[in-house]
Structure 1
Amino acid sequence: MRADVATSALEDRAALERSVLLVDFRTPPAARGWQVAEADAAGVAAHRELRQRAFVEEQGLFAGTDLDGTDDDPRAVTLVARGTRGAVLGGVRLAPVDPAGPDVGWWAGSRLVVAPDAPRGLGAALVIAACARAEQAGVLRFDATVQDRYAALFTRLGWRATGTATLGDRPHTAMTWPIGRIAALAAATKAPLGGLLGGFSLGGPGWVGDDGAPVPGTDVIAACDAILPAMVERDPEWAGWCGVLVNVNDLSAMGAAPLGLLDAVGARDASFAARVLAGLRDASRSWGVPVLGGHTQLGVPASLSVTALGRTHRPVPAGGGRPGHEVRLTADLGGGWRRGHTGRQWDSTSTRTTAELQLMGSVVARTAPAAAKDVSMAGLVGTLGMLAEASGCGAVLDVAAVPRPPAASVGDWFSCFPGTAFLTTDDPGRPVAPAGPASSAVCGELVPGAGVQLRWPDGSLTPAVPGPVTGLGPATVLD
């Protein structure tokens, strides 16, 4: 009995020691003395009081008041830092640059202020929060004019100086926050292609960079797209619909009339496969393109791949552009964000008639531009970069001229899958065929060089895609 007790005691002690080793007795880090959040009406008023005291009464940067048109802009956002007892310790304002104009994705931060007794690091926290909030709003350019004595702080936070300015007889530095959303999307979706596809003929000379490929010796165009397995699993009917949509778009961008589709479906059971095929069947009927055959596999992870065949005697290449060509976007702005895919997938097609879908899909064939490409998973800017790369040049996109639905921010619209949208290039002034319910506008040009730059209403250019998108290189266009 004693031995058993002693053994039990030793085991209990060992267990206790093991438990003690799992406990962290270090002093926990001190909690921040503030919390940054979007201001309510009281927070906005408190921020304005801090501004008045700092910028008008103490620094004399403004006479009487620092209030301006941005304060009246309903799109303006004020972020404030509140202390543990709720008092506003500082704040910052951000809004579209033009208070009276449309939101073109160009915002500015301003009126950054902290109370004299505010904790150290509060100003930097407000700047970081403002950058995050601007990107959340779909902004692609975020600027600020900063007193020179604070320029080093902004530089440490990743901002770049773009010029100088004078405000209230005090030197300021014009700065911008680099937003890499577009370049990151292009790199994630398309950058590996050059290395992966080396050694393939890819449709032959003149067709590098196209989503469809001419079948040698025929007038047939073939295209193939797979839907992301996660999307098939999450939204099988929509995946089936999109399997048709993206393939028809690929054919349409080359000026081909769709002939038929082949599908390969993987599903865990017959019930799930039926949901994928239901979406594919509905889309097939809507576009008037038959499903000719395919393959179905049950008892496997969700997957969907669709192959499309079309016909044209005059295919339009993606690599037919040249410096000096106008860039035009033709896009269906109807509809809205697909439920569950807000900011990523725009659904204009599911409510269109067959006649409308076919009219929009035939616009490239009826216009016969020098180059064309449908906007796909790389987004509008990434797709323009691919067209420019295949054409051996660069591109400039005029942000304010791009047709865009009111419900989509610039950042989302420039990076989403937009449903039906085609980029075309040609000599200035060339006529364009009617596109039915789609909107069409010249919104840029091809230029010498590489990559894509965004042109803003003030005429300045900012890099969006710094160089070639895919690494596949230019197509060799046959005369």
Structure 2
Amino acid sequence: MLEGLPHTTISTPGARTRDLSILAGPELSTPPDHLVTVADDARMLAGYHGLRHTEFVERQGLFATSDHDDVDDDPRTVVLVAVSADGHVVGGVRVAPCTDTDIGWWAGSRLVVADTAHAGGIGRALIRAACAHVEGAGVLRFDATIQERYLRLFTMLGWTDRGPGPTIGGCAHRRMGWPIGRIQRTADTTKAMLADVLAPLGRQPGGLGPAGFRGDDGVPVPGSDLIAACDAVLPAMVERDPEWAGWCSVLVNLNDLAAMGAAPVGLLDAVAAPTTSHLTRIIRGISTAAQAWGTPVLGGHTQVGVHASLSVTALGQTPHPLAAGGGRVGDVVSVIADLGGSWRPGYRGRQWDSTSSRSGEQLRAMGSLVADLRPHAAKDVSMAGLVGTLGMLAESSGTGAELDVSAIPRPHDSTLGEWLTCFPGFAMLTADDHPVREVPGPAVAAPCGRLTAGAGVRLRWPDGEVTGAVASTVTGLGAA
């Protein structure tokens, strides 16, 4: 966190002394040549710590003998330094997690800039580099505490004012936050266009499903107890990783059925490929998955000599389908997920593979979990990510949602930012009066939020701060 350093002072012989806030920079018209990089050797770190000692201990007297603290000892701390053209460290800043267990909440601190002969633009560059670094590391919240005099500078750089901060050394401060839009971007790029694009279908009698199921994972077939679900796989995946594409085409459809409490009956596939060899690999992936889940491919359409494509329709059965739109304000949101496995090679941060290493018995058991629980509402986590999917559940239910960040279960080999925006293999969201704390393995369960009045999804952090993740509705389809 940004404790300890109220401000940095930069000076040069014959020049007027200027104050620099914790993450602020001087405003000189001609910035010198410099490179901002991660301090990855002893020389760079020594240069950075030397600047800090000179500034904070010797010149300002903020510390008696050393400005070293626990953040310096944290192996997760990253130091960014500005290096001049002649190889000297002329500035630096550190960024680090704010909690013992990294939940995606970081802060910047101990920014220091050398004398004004080398200071032009370096402070601003370090601020921007710190923001870029934490976003690249999957961080979802990035804080700073600045002197009030630098409020305008930070807002110009895109930071958000979060209110009064502490008074340090007689100087009033503001709490600032860097807006990280990773979750909003995921929702926008995967689902935001749906309402406009699907509008013609919705104008037809019975279009987009019966009342209560609009925007759901599957749809009840009128006049029957069948549930139908249909998903297509990205053509790039079909071309690049055909067996995995075949596996996923079954996985995503059976997850859709599971979220509605339906037992799978059969599959239909529509598959195309440029060559017979490529087609065979896609079919092999479909067949392996169908056998694992014990769900036959009943028929479909197969074509060769064209661009690769793949879509699958799944049919399931239940007399009492569960809707994503059945949630109520005050319902507890729980996550049920399989945290085993690893990132699919070539898809780090985007696709978590927990299913290909599971037995058919385990896969089928997880597929019946939601049906056994019978919550008010349920939805499987899709390409919109966990938060975007919760936004869709809330939208269908006519509510908003809030997630307790520290309570969300996730794999050890994943940042929170990755886990909340990836396709997680097997993960379900439920909303009900009662929290879900335990389910038969290999999945785990945890209550981690609630449905609220209003719209959108917010994240609650351990310090009580609430930040926006999804501003409003996700699809625009509205309440089911």
Q: Distance in 1 between matches of 2:120 and 2:155?
A: 18
The one-letter amino acid paired with 2:187 is: A
Q: Distance in 2 between matches of 1:178 and 1:434?
A: 36
Q: Is the 8 A contact 2:31 2:120 kept in 1?
A: no
Q: Distance in 2 between matches of 1:251 and 1:91?
A: 52
1:5 is matched with which residue?
none
Task: Say which SS state the counterpart of residue 325 (structure 2) adopts.
Answer: coil
The one-letter amino acid paired with 2:72 is: D
Cα-Cα RMSD? 1.4
Residue 147 of structure 1: how far off its partner (Å): 2.5
1:192 is matched with which residue?
193
2:411 is matched with which residue?
405
Greater CA drift, 45-54 or 367-376: 45-54
Residue 370 (str. 1) matches residue 404 (str. 2): no
For structure 2, the 5+ residue unaligned runs are 1-29
Residue 31 of structure 1: how far off its partner (Å): 10
2:420 corresponds, among 396, 406, 414, to 414
Greater CA drift, 256-265 or 158-167: 158-167
Q: Is the 8 A contact 1:237 1:278 kept in 2?
A: yes
Q: Distance in 2 between matches of 1:358 and 1:334?
A: 16
Residue 63 of structure 1: how far off its partner (Å): 3.9
Q: Distance in 1 between matches of 2:413 and 2:72?
A: 23
Percent sequence identity over aligned pairs: 60
Q: TM-score, normalised by structure 2?
A: 0.90
Structure-to-structure mapping, 1:64-463, within 5 angstroms: 64-98=65-99, 101-116=100-115, 117-164=117-164, 165-198=166-199, 199-200=201-202, 201-429=207-435, 434-463=439-468
Q: Deviations over 1:49-91 (max 9, x none)?
A: 1112222332334443222111111111000011112110100
Structure whose alpha-carbon radius of gyration is higher: 1
- Count of residue correspondences: 443
Q: Deviations over 1:284-341 (max 9, x none)?
A: 1111111111111111111100000000111110000001000000000000000000
Q: Distance in 1 between matches of 2:222 and 2:420?
A: 35
Q: Distance in 1 between matches of 2:351 and 2:440?
A: 21
Residue 179 of structure 1: how far off its partner (Å): 0.3
Greater CA drift, 269-278 or 144-153: 144-153
Q: Is the 8 A contact 1:363 1:433 kept in 2?
A: no
Residue 133 of structure 1: how far off its partner (Å): 0.5
Q: Distance in 2 between matches of 1:110 and 1:131?
A: 12
Task: Say which SS state the counterpart of residue 462 (structure 1) adopts.
Answer: strand
Q: Distance in 1 between matches of 2:32 and 2:236?
A: 39
Q: Distance in 1 between matches of 2:337 and 2:62?
A: 46
Q: Is the 8 A contact 1:367 1:432 kept in 2?
A: no
Task: Say which SS state the counterpart of residue 290 (structure 2) adopts.
Answer: helix
Q: Deviations over 1:151-180 (max 9, x none)?
A: 332222111111222223322221110001
2:13 is matched with which residue?
none
The one-letter amino acid paired with 1:195 is: D
For structure 1, the 5+ residue unaligned runs are 1-29
Task: Say which SS state the counterpart of residue 419 (structure 1) adopts.
Answer: coil
Q: Is the 8 A contact 2:80 2:126 kept in 1?
A: yes
Greater CA drift, 417-426 or 276-285: 276-285
Structure-to-structure mapping, 1:21-100, within 5 angstroms: 33-40=33-40, 41-98=42-99
Q: Distance in 2 between matches of 1:356 and 1:48?
A: 53
Residue 211 of structure 1: how far off its partner (Å): 1.2
Residue 48 of structure 1: how far off its partner (Å): 1.4
Greater CA drift, 150-159 or 358-367: 150-159
Greater CA drift, 335-344 or 42-51: 42-51
Q: Is the 8 A contact 2:106 2:139 kept in 1?
A: yes
Residue 433 of structure 1: how far off its partner (Å): 6.9
Task: Say which SS state the counterpart of residue 270 (structure 2) adopts.
Answer: strand
Q: Distance in 1 between matches of 2:310 and 2:61?
A: 65
Task: Say which SS state the counterpart of residue 351 (structure 1) adopts.
Answer: coil
Greater CA drift, 68-77 or 198-207: 198-207
Greater CA drift, 398-407 or 202-211: 202-211
Q: Distance in 2 between matches of 1:168 and 1:58?
A: 15
Q: Distance in 1 between matches of 2:125 and 2:31?
A: 14
Greater CA drift, 102-111 or 288-297: 288-297
The one-letter amino acid paired with 1:323 is: V
